[in-house]
Amino acid sequence: MMRFLLMIPIIFLTCFPAYSNEEAEQVIRISSPELGDGIQTLDNTGIYPDILNALMSGKENHFTFKVLPLRRLIREFQSRQIDCVWALDAQLLNKLMQSNERFLESSAVFNSSHIVITHIDEPKLNDLSELKNKNVALLNGSHMEEKLRSLGAKVMLVPDQDTKIRLIKNRRVDAILAWTPDIFITMKNYSINTGNLSVSYEITATPVRLVCRNSEETDRFIKSVNIAIDKFNGDDTLQKILGHLNIPSLLPLN
């Protein structure tokens, strides 16, 4: 009898866990790649976290957020330690993961362009193949590394945006690959004079979204986020966040 009574708490805990699955799954785990000072850093600060926090106003108890190095983010997303990725889209995420999975995506918040920046006195590129035998700086973990090496480019991997910009500014490399508005933010933060640089080629334009694994919880979450994005895109919130950067004047666009 005593033995049975001692087992009751174990049976009770087994049958009735302290937190139901529904309660545990209500908190969506969001992560985003480390991108550099002023953009997105490991202390969860920067313009992308600012935009996400503006979108998630009133939903603070329904999500967690952390910035991770890109390769760790990919590992954790693949192992389902993360539910959603912020500041990418599904196509780019699949490229980074070398997969072809179907994800849930939010509406686009804004578009980010992947560009090649060269010296202003160099001819503009018509194709990436023209980077053959050129010294090109990329961030560590870039999905373009293999592509550029296959084209014969001399790839230099660097740890941050600041290093990449200083390399091109001081003519230690011929070109850098960068994303907008990220690269403009770094230039602004470091007061880098870009008068000798030019946007030479646009590789692609990618919508900045929230990308999630497919589940009932993330589906509900994405639907609520889309309502916030519609409102966000309908007012001047984004311009208030980006406005002080004066992005069009940072690089010659001709």
Q: What are phi and psi of 53, to 5 degrees?
A: -65, -35
94-100 contacts, C-beta under 8 A, 24 or more apart: 95/143, 96/70, 96/143
Residues 221 and 107 occupy one common structural domain: yes
Each residue's pLDDT tens digit, 149-177 = 999 999 999 988 888 988 998 999 999 99
Residues 147 and 35 occupy one common structural domain: no
Residues 168 and 126 occupy one common structural domain: yes
Concatenated DSSP letters for 30-92?
EEEE--BTTTB-TTS-SHHHHHHHHHTTT-GGGEEEEEE-HHHHHHHHHTTS-SEEEEE-HHH
DSSP single-letter state for residue 133: T
Domain membership flag for residue 10: no
Measured CA to CA, the distance from residue 116 to residue 142 in angstroms comes to: 14
Query: How many domains does the chain contain in total?
Result: 2
Residues 98 and 116 occupy one common structural domain: no
Residues 187 and 217 occupy one common structural domain: no
Q: Which domain holds residue 132?
A: 112-205
Pair 144, 138: CB distance under 8 Å: yes
Q: What is the pTM of this model?
A: 0.67
Measured CA to CA, the distance from residue 48 to residue 211 in angstroms comes to: 14
Residues 73 and 134 occupy one common structural domain: no
Residues 197 and 120 occupy one common structural domain: yes
Residues 92 and 214 occupy one common structural domain: yes
CATH of the domain at 162: 3.40.190.10
**Domain final residue pick, 190, 205, 220:** 205
- pLDDT tens by residue, the chain, 254 residues: 433 333 333 333 333 333 344 444 479 999 999 887 788 889 998 889 988 998 888 887 889 999 999 889 999 999 999 999 998 888 888 888 888 889 999 999 888 889 999 999 999 999 999 999 999 999 888 889 999 999 999 999 998 888 898 899 899 999 999 988 888 888 877 777 667 888 899 998 888 899 999 999 999 999 999 999 998 888 877 777 776 655 543 343 33
The burial of 126, by beta-carbon neighbours within 10 Å (0-12 exposed, 13-18 middle, 19 or more buried), is given as exposed
Domain membership flag for residue 16: no
Residues 97 and 118 occupy one common structural domain: no
Strands 28-33 and 104-105: unpaired
pLDDT at 14: 37
Domain membership flag for residue 237: yes
Residues 118 and 101 occupy one common structural domain: no
pLDDT at 245: 59
Domain membership flag for residue 4: no
pLDDT at 188: 77
Residues 96 and 133 occupy one common structural domain: no
pLDDT at 59: 82
Domain membership flag for residue 219: yes
Residues 103 and 225 occupy one common structural domain: yes
